[in-house]
Structures are given as C-alpha cells and as structure tokens.
Amino acid sequence: MTLETENIPVPSRRRTALLFPIQSLAAIGRFFIGLLATVGRVTYFAITIILRGLLPPYYPGRFLSEFFEIGWNSLPVVALTAVFTGSALAQQVYSAASRFSAQSTVPAAVVIGMVRELGPVLVGLMVVGRVTSAIAAEIGAMRVTEQIDAMETLHTDPYRYLLAPRLYAAVIALPFLVMLANIIGIFGGYLLSIGKLGFNPENYLKVTRNFLKAEDIHMALVKAAVFGFLMALLGCYNGFFARGGAVGVGRATTRAVVSAFIMILFSNLMITLFFFG
C-alpha cells in the first residue's frame, strides 16, 4: 500500500538556498518600511503638538511646573555628573599628554571637550534617564486608565494640556542645564589641575578663555535644544500610544528611553558634522 504523502515533492537544496537570501531581503525591507512608518508617525505627532501648543487656550502653570521639574529638579544629578566628568577629563588628558610633554594642553582640552561634546551629551543622557522615563510612564498610565479619554470628553485638548507644556519646557530647560554643566565641569577640571597636577591658576584660566570660542557655545546650545526636543517628544509619543495595561506602560517607558538615547547620540553626530564637517 502506497501512502499519498510519498508523492509530495520535496524542495531541493538549490531551491532552499535561493529562498534564504530572498527571505532575508524581505525581512530587511519590512524593517526599513516599518522604520520609515514610525518616523512618519512621530513627525506628524511632533507637528501636531507644536501647532496646537501655539493656539489658545494656554496653560502657563503647566509650563512652569514642567520647567521646574525638568530643569531645577535635574540640577543635582547634572552638577555631580559634570564635576566628576570635568575632573576625570583633566586627569586623563594630563596622563596622555605627559607622554609627549604636552601637559599645557590640559586646559584647552578640558574646555573644548566639555563644551562641545561631554557637557551636552552627558546632560542629555542623564536627563533622559530621569525625565523621559517619567513622562512616558505618567502619560502611559493616564492612557491605559482612560484619563486621556475622559479629558477629551470634557473638551480639554491633551495635546495642549499634557504634551505641549512638556515639549516646550524641555526645549528651554536643557540649554540652561547644559550651560551650568559646562561651567561646573570646567571648574571641576580647574580644581583638579591646580590642586593635584600643579597648574598655575592664572595661566589655566587664561588658556581656558583663549580656547573657548563663540561657535563652541552656540553648538552646545543648539545640541541642548535638540536633545530637549527629542527626549520630551519620544517620552510623550510612547506614553500617549501605550496599550496593554501596566505591562504596556512598562514597555512604552523602555522604548521611550532607548529611542531617546539613540536619537541623542545620532543627532549629536549630525550637529557636530554640520558645525565642523
């Protein structure tokens, strides 16, 4: 007795080998299409927040509250990060420059490194860990508990009341935090250099002033504003579209923080290439 399954053709090795690269290309294509779709949705979401935030009614109390939360409450962790980073940078530069008898470059390296790169990036990453996660969790909890739906039922626009104050507050608060972090970081390198490395205080400050240029400060402020925009936007986006109860809120918070980290590092590279490329 012959089974019918014996007549089913078995794919040859050659056919299987041809299907594998096609399936891989299809998976890559789906990934990039999904990525472009996500970028489009986030862009539309950002434009909606900006445009609705410019129209009345306005909520200055909400803006001030978010500005205080993002700016003032983030200051302790930003200050500690900056002073430790500036001191460590001075020590590392001194150790490396000693191999070439170029210890005099320490003040210039500290001020350029802090203002151009370390200050904006470290502040952005530290504030993402503290603020973006909180924004995504808070708005996500409001979404899954239907508080946002109730707000819309009462004719209160969540874009104006919940999202726009956070976005505008982050864009304004981050430049202030970055400037303070740069000052504190340079001061940390100054303290370690004159206290441990034996630098003359007057010469150190003179070199620092000579190497600090206006374009460095402008680039730091541009980076800070962009970082603030991205971290608030991604926190709002992932929280606003959270689904699935507490588990969904946790996943939205994780996505918000990871995507904000990636976008800050990517935008930092793009802005650096624009200014100095």
DSSP-derived 3-state class of residue 134: helix
Q: Look up the pTM and report it.
A: 0.89
Residue 188 lies in a domain: yes
The reported pLDDT for the residue numbered 21 is: 73
The reported pLDDT for the residue numbered 1 is: 45
The reported pLDDT for the residue numbered 128 is: 96
The reported pLDDT for the residue numbered 16 is: 60
Q: Residue 250: what residue type? A: G
Domain range enclosing 181:
58-276
The structure tokens listed for 178 are: 């970055």
Q: How far, in Å, CA of 252 to CA of 262, rounded?
A: 15
Residue 20 lies in a domain: no
Count of CA atoms in the C-beta half-sphere (13 A) of 147: 14
Residue 11 lies in a domain: no
Residue 1 lies in a domain: no
Task: Give 76-132 pLDDT, tens digit per residue.
Answer: 999 999 999 999 999 999 999 999 888 899 999 999 999 999 999 999 999 999 999
Contact criterion met (CB below 8 Å) for 175 and 225: yes
Domain total in the chain: 1
Residue 27 lies in a domain: no
Residue 3 lies in a domain: no
- Distances in Å between the Cα of 228 and the Cα atoms of 12, 160, 184, 225, 272 are 56, 18, 20, 5, 17
User: How many CB atoms neighbour CB 23 within 10 A?
Assistant: 10
Residue 192 lies in a domain: yes
User: pLDDT by residue for the chain (277 residues), tens digit each?
Assistant: 444 555 555 555 556 655 667 777 888 888 889 989 999 999 999 999 999 999 999 999 999 999 999 999 999 999 999 999 999 999 999 999 999 888 899 999 999 999 999 999 999 999 999 999 999 999 999 999 999 999 999 999 999 999 999 999 999 999 999 999 999 999 999 999 999 999 999 999 999 999 999 999 999 999 999 999 999 999 999 999 999 999 999 999 999 999 999 999 999 999 999 988 7
Is 216 buried (19+), middle (13-18) or exposed (0-12) by CB count in 10 A? middle
Residue 238 lies in a domain: yes
Contact criterion met (CB below 8 Å) for 188 and 92: no
What DSSP designation does 154 have?
T
The structure tokens listed for 224 are: 């800070």
Q: How far, in Å, CA of 273 to CA of 29, rounded?
A: 28
Contact criterion met (CB below 8 Å) for 161 and 56: no
Contact criterion met (CB below 8 Å) for 140 and 253: yes
Count of CA atoms in the C-beta half-sphere (13 A) of 101: 0
Q: What are phi and psi for residue 48, nearest 5 degrees?
A: -65, -45
The reported pLDDT for the residue numbered 265 is: 96
Contact criterion met (CB below 8 Å) for 264 and 230: yes
Sign for the CA dihedral angle at 233, 256, 176, 183 comes to negative
